[in-house]
Every structure is written in C-alpha cells, then in structure tokens.
Structure 1
C-alpha cells in the first residue's frame, strides 16, 4: 500500500529544498569571492612590505635622499595567515553564514522528504535510483552541515552544494512513483544495512571528491605563484589534501562493508555470493580504485597530486555505476525503476 498524499508531500519537500540550495550556492559563492579578494589584497600588501624591507637592507640605502618611514618588522606583521582560517579578520562572513543557514533549511527539507517517501510506502526508501539519490543527498548535506558546526567550512559550501544539487536534479530525471519493492529487494534487514551503507559511502566520496578538486585547483595556482580570485579564499593546498585523504579514510572501510554485505545478500536472494553481475563487478572496481588511491597516497614514489587524480577516477566509476550500469546494462540488479 502507498499513500499518495505523503508521496506528494515528499516530492514538494525535495523540490523546495533544491530551490533553497540554489540560493545557498549563490551565497557561498559570494562569500568565497569576497574572502578571496580580501586575502589577495592582504597578500599584495605583505609582498609590498617585504619589498620595502629588502630595499632598506641594501648597503648604502641609508645615504639616499629622504628617510623612509619606519616599518613594523615584527614577526606578527609579516606572518602568513594560518591555513585553518578561511576568512581574514575584518571581512564580513555574512554571505557565508546565510549560505550555511540556507543549507541547514535544505538539509531538513531533503531529510524530511526522504522520511515522507519512506512513510508513503512503509519501507526503507532505497528501492530505486530516485530514492538512492535523495538518501545520498541527505547524507552528504548532513555530514557537511554537522562538520561545519565543528570547523569553519564556509569555503567548502560551493563544492558540496553544487554536486548535491546535481544529484537531486538527476534524481528528478530518474523519478519513480512510490511503489513496493521487487521480490529480490524485499528483505528489510539487508536492504537497510547494505544500501544505507552504500548511500553513506557515496555521500562521503562526494565530499572527498569536492575536497580533491579544491586541492588540485589551489595546488595548481600555488605552483604557478598566482593564487588569485576566489582560489585565494581556499585553505592552503597541503591542508586541502590532508582533508581529502581523511574523508577517504572514513569512506573506504564503509565501501568494503558494502561489498561484503552485498555478497551475503546475493547468497540469500539468488543462492550464490558472487555471479559476475555487472553491478557486482562495478562495486568491486570502485573498491579497487579507491584501494589504489590509498596505496598511492602512502607510496613515496607517487605525488599527492597524482594520488588525488586516482581518487577522482573512483568518483567517476561511482557515477558510471549508478548511471550507465543501472540504465543501460541488463543484470540481476536492474531495478532502477526508471523504465516503469
């Protein structure tokens, strides 16, 4: 049995949240641009002061006409701003805070819409691609919002909100009417364990990919010696890379459990642990790529930049797994619901 009214309420909540996220993206982008411009100006001032100090240090300079103004050469005056601070003092955080508030509203909306979807069908809302999309988006928003309560992560907003919006938009394209599960999925225990962990893992991998992209962009700018515009609003590349690695350290063990529980569920549903079904193969491919990333990250012969590219290949494999494999390749896991 399905409840059309609850299903409609769920759809409205998700659509409204998508609109709120669009406003949050604008606010976060404005914050990053303003912060980057302020940091860029401060960097230019520091460079100018260092140039003046170098000129004063040249022998014979003191004999020139005119006496330069004394400079504050204390360590605090020339110190580089710590990378953990994402906004310089004196710069308003108004737009970033507005973006965070809007993100919290959207988080409640997407989570609420997901819960209403489950109530409308009286089961875990994980039976098709649309439901997988809204649950993954819910986890990504919750993780980002909670993380931001502990650390200043306003600069990360655009990198998280944009892919979440893409997921929700794709979910609407893949929209499936609320209905009951197909027989192979009608196992509450394994559905709740296996697919819930899969959505949580994907959410963490999304945030990891967002951090990885931010690291590569900032690192390229630092290598060229031109950290300009909104890139100046990001933390230093080394800090971004450390956060990228940290997120993947959490996500990879969860995906390992996804692989194991999927095999167990396959034995329950189809009488074998492994049958080389396309979905099974791609789940293992994703696991292997992220294992390669972690190995490359720990290997001295690989640069952190090259290792991060491997992590982004893993994200690409996830996208292929939940689009091409679900929609175009026929197998035992063909339950996207899109063709229904």
Structure 2
C-alpha cells in the first residue's frame, strides 16, 4: 500500500474505533439496565412476605452489590468483547499512521492524544478482565473515551507527515512513550476517583438508582490507587527523560517552560495523592479529590498549555 493509502486507512480505522466504542457503550448500558432485575424481584417478594421471598439471607447479594442475571452477564461479556475489538482497531489507527509516515506515530497532538486514550482503554480492559465487577464502570469509561476521540478528531487532526526536525531523536521513543503511558493510566485512575466520590456519598450505598449499581467504594478506591501507583513511576521517568532530552536539545535540563512547569505540577499532585492515601485524615474522599485534581492538571497540560501558551514545546505539544 502507498503512504497515502495507509494514511487514509488510518483515518477510516479512527471512525471505526469510535463506532465500536459506541456499540460497547450501548452494551454496557444494557448490562446496567438488566443486571439488577433478579435482586429487585427478590426485594419486592421479601417485602410482601416478610420472609425475603424464600431466599436465604446468606444467599442474597450484599447491600450495594448487583446480582447479575445470565442475560446481564452476557451483555457484559459482549460489551467487553466489543471494547477489545475497538482497542484493536484503535491500535490500527496508530500502526497504519506510523507506517504511512515511517516514524513513531506520536509526533503531534493528534497522535499523542489518540495514543493516550488507547492506553486508558487497554488499562480498563485489563482490570475488567481481572475483576469482572469492574465492567459496571464501562459506561463511565467509554463515554469519556468516545467524547475524547470525537474532540481529537474534530479539533486536533493533522495530515500524516514527517515530524519537525527538533523531534527527530531517539528520545521521542523514550520520553513521549512514557508520557503517553503515564497519562493514559492516570485517566483511568481519575475516572475511578470521580466514581468513588459519587459512590461514597451518604446514602449512596443503600440507594436503588444507577449509582448503587457501581462497584463498591472500596473497589473503586482500590482501582484508583493501583493505577496511580502504576502510573506514577512512569510519569516520573517521563519528566526525567524530558529533562535529559532538553539538555541535549537546548543545552539545559530545566528552564521552567510552561510544558515543563505543568508536567512537574502534575507530578507533585500525584505524589500528594499517593501520600494522602497513607495519611490519617486524608484517606478516602479528600485523597480522591486530590486525584481528580491531578487528572484535571493533566488535561490542562495537554490542551491549554499546548494550544494557548507559548514555549519551546509549542511546535508539537507532545513532550
């Protein structure tokens, strides 16, 4: 295939990925919609008979948990399968674009942001396979993923082309790859903390609405913490690698360029989050708020700092 054909294929796969993620979102919605029918029926019968409808107390779902019907479980499996298929086509977007340009496919904001979202999807899939109960946050993962990809396609798209001379370095593979991995993992962590804040509100545990169908607050907090623990050293390495590249390219390790400054701010916020979770008085909701602020800083660093501020990183906005 010619380079132009590969670039066109990349664009087509981008649209296919959005379509598949949208289909997965519908399936996750179906899982939430049908996943509690059995439990609600048991509760209603129990209320009428005063004996729990003949269901032993030990056999009933714990408060705040969802007993899945076979149909709901099938919807969840379908949703996860479509998500995996979407991730494969999503990876194809970057692969074909890289082949079309004969370089690593994260040399501009469009490619960088696309790769970040892919990492977030893969991280979610890994945790959902290991802990099937986490499939219930699929709606809240896929919705931001779809919105992000639509925004990326509409606002950040650029034609496939070679990178500028300043980015033709092996540090592109080291520094930017680490930044992509760290950002994508932090995206999952931040979403988990947002859901934890919603799920841990007073009265949410005993509710019967959509919030009560989420995993327990402990499970959401555990997901947020584990992903942050995994992403923090990767982001630390990205900041250090960026400083080394800066010394090789510009003759100084650190110059408080806006991109450097906000990358360091993000590092400080995530360090504060990890410390907060081990500090009395900061565990739980206060620590989760710090994690949400961390995700907000990461998004600000990608969007506002790259698109509005000026600095040595303005030519590409990817490192």
TM-score (norm 1): 0.85
**The residue matched to 1:263 in structure 2 has which SS?**
helix
* Match runs of 1:1-340 below 5 Å: 3-36=3-36, 38-42=38-42, 48=47, 52=50, 76-77=58-59, 80=62, 87-90=67-70, 92-152=72-132, 153-172=134-153, 173-187=155-169, 189-220=170-201, 223=203, 226-336=206-316
**The residue matched to 1:275 in structure 2 has which SS?**
coil
CA change 1:128–1:71 in 2 (3 A) is: closer
CA RMSD of aligned residues (A): 2.5
User: Aligned partners of 1:169 and 1:73: how far apart in 2?
Assistant: 47
Conserved? CA contact 1:34–1:230, under 8 Å:
no
User: Aligned partners of 2:281 and 2:45: how far apart in 1?
Assistant: 38
Larger Rg: 1
User: Aligned partners of 2:62 and 2:148: how far apart in 1?
Assistant: 38
Aligned length in residues: 315
Instruction: Give 5+ residue unaligned stretches, structure 1.
Output: 54-69
Conserved? CA contact 2:14–2:93, under 8 Å:
yes
CA change 1:117–1:90 in 2 (3 A) is: closer
User: Aligned partners of 1:178 and 1:213: how far apart in 2?
Assistant: 35
Conserved? CA contact 1:39–1:233, under 8 Å:
no
CA change 1:16–1:89 in 2 (3 A) is: closer
Instruction: Give 5+ residue unaligned stretches, structure 2.
Output: none
Conserved? CA contact 1:127–1:181, under 8 Å:
yes
- Tell me how far 1:145 sits from its aligned partner: 2.3
User: Aligned partners of 1:227 and 1:71: how far apart in 2?
Assistant: 21
